[in-house]
């Protein structure tokens, strides 16, 4: 069987494992990773399925280039999100991705259905998957699970996933890496699947792939993104966001943080020692020794758990990040949940004394959320929208489709509001990130420029996440979208065909969300960002609702969707999306 031409199907209820071929047309049209996951989820999942029921489908997938590319290897988890009810694809790096590629043999991934009668792990080696009883692992955190498998790599849940927190993550390397936003960890917990264990090493490189890897390592090291990441990783986003006035502060009440220098890149460099590099590693990185042990801070940690909570002590922020990592809890949603609680306490919605800047209280609440051990923690475990429904305070933290906004305040870059609103998994800054260009632009962008920037980036990332490529290395693949690499592994495409693949995947995912009941009303502009924060660059620092609606209409037209955000039949057919579309609310011909 050709590499990655099969998929392993695991039914946890029946405790059965089978191998089956991936349809050739699916491999061609959707490549792998996100695309293949979207096609399987659309085909396998019944509309309206409760994400936390055993009927949900969970896929662990690699891409045709996993194990070969320079930079950090990646894998993707695809499921229906318990946080948003939308399609969910969540990516993670670390040792698990390459070893999973080596362990799966000729398979592109694992498709998991059902629910085990007891906690289990899936052991992957030599192209085979076995179900193993693992009750002794239940209750352990991410670091403790990883320690149990010294000769393998794991993707596991912690207490947050076991307790069904809707933003629980899937952790690797003891919590250094996470398939983060959207709650895939809660889906694993519902299925009583504690971990995936990959036991083989990464796949071998051919001479051609070694030459190609060396070429791209040099290219990446020399380009702007590579130089930036090698020296700063994502931590410099704190300094950037604060400088241009898009840093969410004190629960989205301000867009700059006076203590940014204390939690940004300079503070990290002072506190950290350089992470050991693998021979083929491109990006740099930091490890921080904290009160509780080592952690690897990412940009989202000081943004959400630092500025967002008004905490300007780097060690305290790193400790909060370490706690989230071990509990396997998304740091962005955790920070927003605590920020919501602080603001709600100030406005009398909840009876609890909470203050910005109090890291001890933040720690206590995060642990309550992960274990649902208090009434407030249990409600916040379902997200800030659930908390607002229960207690009031629905205008405190901005959300889209149930997911709280992440690292960048769109009031400083209007195109970012469109990117959040049209993201396929809820508010996400990774699908498109026009803020970095718009915030520094010498003039105000037009509507067409904003729409083009968002659509272009969404399509491009849909392709790269099907390969599955690291976000930052993706800049080096932008010119040909991976054509050269795909040819080296026996998958020949023209760039134009791959560009079409990106449009096809994005449209298929939209069809999935439409089938789940999402439409224009869900591509909303959060009320919070229509008003200026306490501190901004100027008095009219807000997103104008009328301007946003004009952008959204232009976006739909650009994509060939109707004005309710539904892909038209003619566009679906032109993109060659196959399968049963009878139950999808597409409009008539254009």
Neighbours of 31 (CB within 10 A): 30
pLDDT of residue 258: 94
Sort strands 6-11 and 107-113 into parallel, antiparallel or unpaired.
Answer: parallel
Q: What is the pLDDT of residue 274?
A: 47
Q: What sign has the CA pseudo-torsion 557, 563, 564, 568?
A: negative
Q: What is the C-alpha separation between 335 and 333, in angstroms, rounded? A: 5
Q: Alpha-carbon torsion 395, 397, 400, 403, what sign? A: negative
**Measured distance CA(175)–CA(198) in Å, rounded:** 16
* Predicted pLDDT of residue 327: 98
468: cis peptide before it, omega within 30°?
yes
d(CA 40, CA 43): 5
The whole-number pLDDT of residue 285 equals 56
CB 263 within 8 A of CB 247: no
Q: Strand 193-198 to strand 120-125: parallel, antiparallel, or no bridges (unpaired)?
A: parallel
Place of tokens 């979207």: 38
Q: Which residues pair with 90 in a beta bridge?
A: 77
Among 419, 410, 498, CA closest to 453:
419
pLDDT tens for the chain, residues 1 to 590: 367 899 999 999 999 999 999 999 999 999 999 999 999 999 999 999 999 999 999 999 999 999 999 878 999 999 999 999 999 999 999 999 999 999 999 999 999 999 999 999 999 999 999 999 999 999 999 999 999 999 999 999 999 999 999 999 999 999 999 999 999 999 999 999 999 999 999 999 999 999 999 998 888 777 666 655 555 566 778 888 888 888 999 999 999 999 999 998 887 777 765 444 443 443 345 666 655 666 666 778 999 999 999 999 999 999 999 999 999 999 999 999 999 999 999 999 999 999 999 999 999 999 999 999 999 999 999 999 999 999 999 999 999 999 999 988 998 889 999 999 999 999 998 899 888 788 878 888 999 999 999 999 999 999 999 999 887 777 778 789 999 999 999 999 999 999 999 999 999 999 999 999 999 999 999 999 998 887 655 455 789 999 999 999 999 999 999 999 999 988 999 999 976 565 564 665 54
Q: What is the pLDDT of residue 224?
A: 66
Q: Taking the CA atoms of 297, 301, 305 and 310 in sequence, report the sign of the dihedral they define.
A: positive
Tell me the C-alpha distance between 57 and 31, whole Å: 20
Q: CA 6, CA 40: separation in Å to the nearest integer?
A: 13
Count of helices and strands (H, E) across the chain: 25, 17
Domains and CATH numbers, the chain: 6-198 (3.60.9.10), 232-404 (1.10.569.10), 410-574 (1.10.599.10)
Non-local (6+) Cβ contacts of 91 within 8 A are 74, 75, 76, 77, 179, 465, 468, 471
Q: For position 439, what pLDDT does the model report?
A: 80
Q: What pLDDT sits at residue 290? A: 57
Q: Which residues pair with 168 in a beta bridge?
A: 329
Q: What are phi and psi of 53, to 5 degrees?
A: -105, 165
Structural contact between residues 87 and 513, judged by C-beta atoms closer than 8 angstroms: yes
Tokens found for residue 589: 């011909």
Which distant-in-sequence residues (6+ apart) come within 8 Å of 560 by Cβ? 567, 568, 570, 571, 574, 590
| Residue 75 phi, psi (nearest 5) | -130, 170
Residue 174 tokens, joined: 């003891």
Full-model pTM? 0.93
Q: Which two tokens stand for residue 98?
A: 């390459």
């Amino acid at each position: 069987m050709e590499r990655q031409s099969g998929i392993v199907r695991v039914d946890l209820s029946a405790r059965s494992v089978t191998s089956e071929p991936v349809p050739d047309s699916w491999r061609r049209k959707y490549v792998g990773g996100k695309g293949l996951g979207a096609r399987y989820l659309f085909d396998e999942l019944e509309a309206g399925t409760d994400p936390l029921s055993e009927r949900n489908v969970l896929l662990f997938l690699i891409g045709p280039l996993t194990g070969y590319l320079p930079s950090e290897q990646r894998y993707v988890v695809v499921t229906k999100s318990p946080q948003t009810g939308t399609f969910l694809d969540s990516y993670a790096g670390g040792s698990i991705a390459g070893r999973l590629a080596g362990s799966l043999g000729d398979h592109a991934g694992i498709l998991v259905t059902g629910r085990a009668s007891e906690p289990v792990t899936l052991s992957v080696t030599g192209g085979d998957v076995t179900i193993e009883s693992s009750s002794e692992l239940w209750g352990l955190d991410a670091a403790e699970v990883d320690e149990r498998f010294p000769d393998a790599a794991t993707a596991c849940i912690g207490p947050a996933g076991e307790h069904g927190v809707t933003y629980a993550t899937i952790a690797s390397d003891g919590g250094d890496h996470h398939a983060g936003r959207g709650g895939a960890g809660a889906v694993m917990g519902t299925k009583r699947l504690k971990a995936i264990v990959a036991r083989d090493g990464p796949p071998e490189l051919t001479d051609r792939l070694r030459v190609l890897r060396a070429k791209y390592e040099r290219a990446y090291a020399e380009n702007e993104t590579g130089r930036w990441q090698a020296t700063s990783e994502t931590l410099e986003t704190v300094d950037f966001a604060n400088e241009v006035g898009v840093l969410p502060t004190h629960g989205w009440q301000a867009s700059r943080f006076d203590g940014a220098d204390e939690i940004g890149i300079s503070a990290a460099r002072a506190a950290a020692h350089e992470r050991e590099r693998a021979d083929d590693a491109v990006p740099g990185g930091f490890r921080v020794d904290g009160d509780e042990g080592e952690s690897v801070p990412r940009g989202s940690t000081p943004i959400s758990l630092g500025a967002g909570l008004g905490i300007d002590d780097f060690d305290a922020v790193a400790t909060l990040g370490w706690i989230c990592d071990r509990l396997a809890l998304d740091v962005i949603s955790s920070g927003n949940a605590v920020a919501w609680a602080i603001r709600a306490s100030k406005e009398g919605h909840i009876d609890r004394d909470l203050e910005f800047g109090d890291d001890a209280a933040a720690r206590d609440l995060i642990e309550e959320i992960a274990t649902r051990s208090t009434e407030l923690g249990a409600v916040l475990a379902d997200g800030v929208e659930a908390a607002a429904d229960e207690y009031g305070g629905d205008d405190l933290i901005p959300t889209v489709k149930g997911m709280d906004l992440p690292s960048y305040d769109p009031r400083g870059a209007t195109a970012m509001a469109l990117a959040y609103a049209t993201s396929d998994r809820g508010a996400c800054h990774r699908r498109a990130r026009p803020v970095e260009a718009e915030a520094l632009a010498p003039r105000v962008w037009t509507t067409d420029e904003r729409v083009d920037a968002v659509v272009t980036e969404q399509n491009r990332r849909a392709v790269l996440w099907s390969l599955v490529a690291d976000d930052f290395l993706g800049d080096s693949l932008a010119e040909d979208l991976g054509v050269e690499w795909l040819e080296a592994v026996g998958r020949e495409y023209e760039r134009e065909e791959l560009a079409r693949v990106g449009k096809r995947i994005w449209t298929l995912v939209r069809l999935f969300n439409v089938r789940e009941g999402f439409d224009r009303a869900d591509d909303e502009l959060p009320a919070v960002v229509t008003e200026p924060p306490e501190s901004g660059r100027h008095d009219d620092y807000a997103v104008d609702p009328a301007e946003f609606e004009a952008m959204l209409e232009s976006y739909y037209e650009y994509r060939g969707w109707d004005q309710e955000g539904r892909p038209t039949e003619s566009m679906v057919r032109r993109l060659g999306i196959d399968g049963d579309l009878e139950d999808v609310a597409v409009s008539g011909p254009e």
